[in-house]
Structure 1
Amino acid sequence: MTENSDLIEYFALFTEVGIIEQLSRNLLEAELPDGIIAPHFAVLNHLIRVADGQTPLKLATAFQVPKTSMTHTLAGLQRHRLVEMRPNPNDARSKQVWLTDEGRQLRDRTIADLGPILSRVAQTTTPQEVRTVLPILQKLREHLDDARDQHDNSSPLTSS
């Protein structure tokens, strides 16, 4: 059984991650072109990191948002010609989301534009510290992803 004081530390960890997410989102959005917001960039980044050609429903599940919200986000990306919708060859009733060259370029350009900000972060956190914490954060993300996938109707923190 985990001690209550340990649970408080886990909660503090999630609090810090949430605050970092909020602050980093503001920094990101300052570098994005007008009309593009962090959720748009997150989808572009996900499609590059995981794979494009996913269905809107699969993306909605990955981002834990309603399909209608993901449809709205994808419509914004389409308006800016950053993604295109193609028929799903495996299911004629659905579509797949594909990055355009403009979408890939926007993602890469935004990351490059974040260089000066990341350089300032590097002045406060050593590469070794990043290498130490990154696997821990990845392990937590993988657990939460797996819990979500295994228990769609229960809490993502439910043990698997």
Structure 2
Amino acid sequence: MTDRNDSLAISLFSEIFMADQLARNRISRALPRGMELSHFSVLNHLARLNEERTPAQLAAAFHVTRGAMTNTLNRLDWAGHVHIRPDWDDARRKLVSISPAGRSACDAAIQAIAPVLAEAVADIGEDRLRAALPVLRLLRQKLEGGR
């Protein structure tokens, strides 16, 4: 890379890291009491998929360790937000699904964070954000492929 490209990459990733930190902070504060961002992320993922996943699949989807995902799933299970059952075809595995209470909690979280997200979209403008999405998506795909 040239010095100019290095500077561009550093500036780009500095902005992404700061935006990520600020977004996580704002969304975390808006979430219902007792819900963490990791909890919401897993519930939202399961709600969108609408099918069971193994803890290992969830860990891979979120790029976290199996231990970290197990901790999150245990907390969600304790709260009654997920169902964790043995895999009937392979007793060594477990399957996780969102519970009705988890769907309600996810919906409540979406209601709570929607104003924060809507404010950002309104201030920046839908067209500008829509134009940025393909570049951010390509960057994510490039980073996922470069493990």
TM-score by length of 1: 0.80
In structure 1, distance between residues paired with 2:66 and 2:43: 17
SS in 1 for 2:124: coil
Q: Give the structure, 1 or 2, with the largest relative contact order (CA under 8 Å, sep 6 or more).
A: 2
Aligned position for 1:60: 59
In angstroms, what is the RMSD of aligned CA positions? Answer: 1.9
Give the whole-Å Cα distance in 1 for the aligned partners of 2:139 and 2:49.
Answer: 18
C-alpha contact (below 8 Å) 2:85/2:96 kept by paired residues: yes
- Distance change in 2, residues 1:77/1:30 (3 Å): same
The answer as to 2:70 corresponding to 1:71 is yes
Deviation of the 1:80 alpha carbon: 1.1
Structure 1 position 50, deviation (Å): 4.5
| 2:87 corresponds to 1:88 | yes
Equivalent residue for 2:138?
139
Higher helix share: 2
Once the two structures are TM-superposed, the CA of residue 120 in structure 1 deviates from its matched residue by 2.2
Identity %: 35
Report the equivalent of 2:100: 101
- Mind listing any 5+ residue stretches in structure 2 that lack a counterpart? none
Per the alignment, residue 110 of structure 1 pairs with 109
Query: How many residues get paired?
Result: 147
Residues 14 and 48 from structure 1, CA distance in 2 versus in 1: closer, same or farther, beyond 3 angstroms? farther
The within-5 A match list for 1:113-124 is: 113-124=112-123
The letter for the 1-side match of 2:103 is: R
Judge which range, 56-65 or 42-51, deviates more: 42-51
Tell me, in whole angstroms, the C-alpha distance in 2 between the residues paired with 1:122 and 1:130: 7
Q: What is the SS of the residue equivalent to 1:36?
A: coil
How has the CA–CA distance of structure 1 residues 104 and 144 changed in structure 2, closer, same or farther, with 3 Å as cutoff? farther
TM-score, L = length of structure 2: 0.86
Which amino acid counterpart does residue 39 of structure 2 have in structure 1?
Answer: H
Native 8 Å contact 2:27 2:116 kept in 1: no
Within the alignment, does 1:129 sit opposite 2:90 as a pair? no
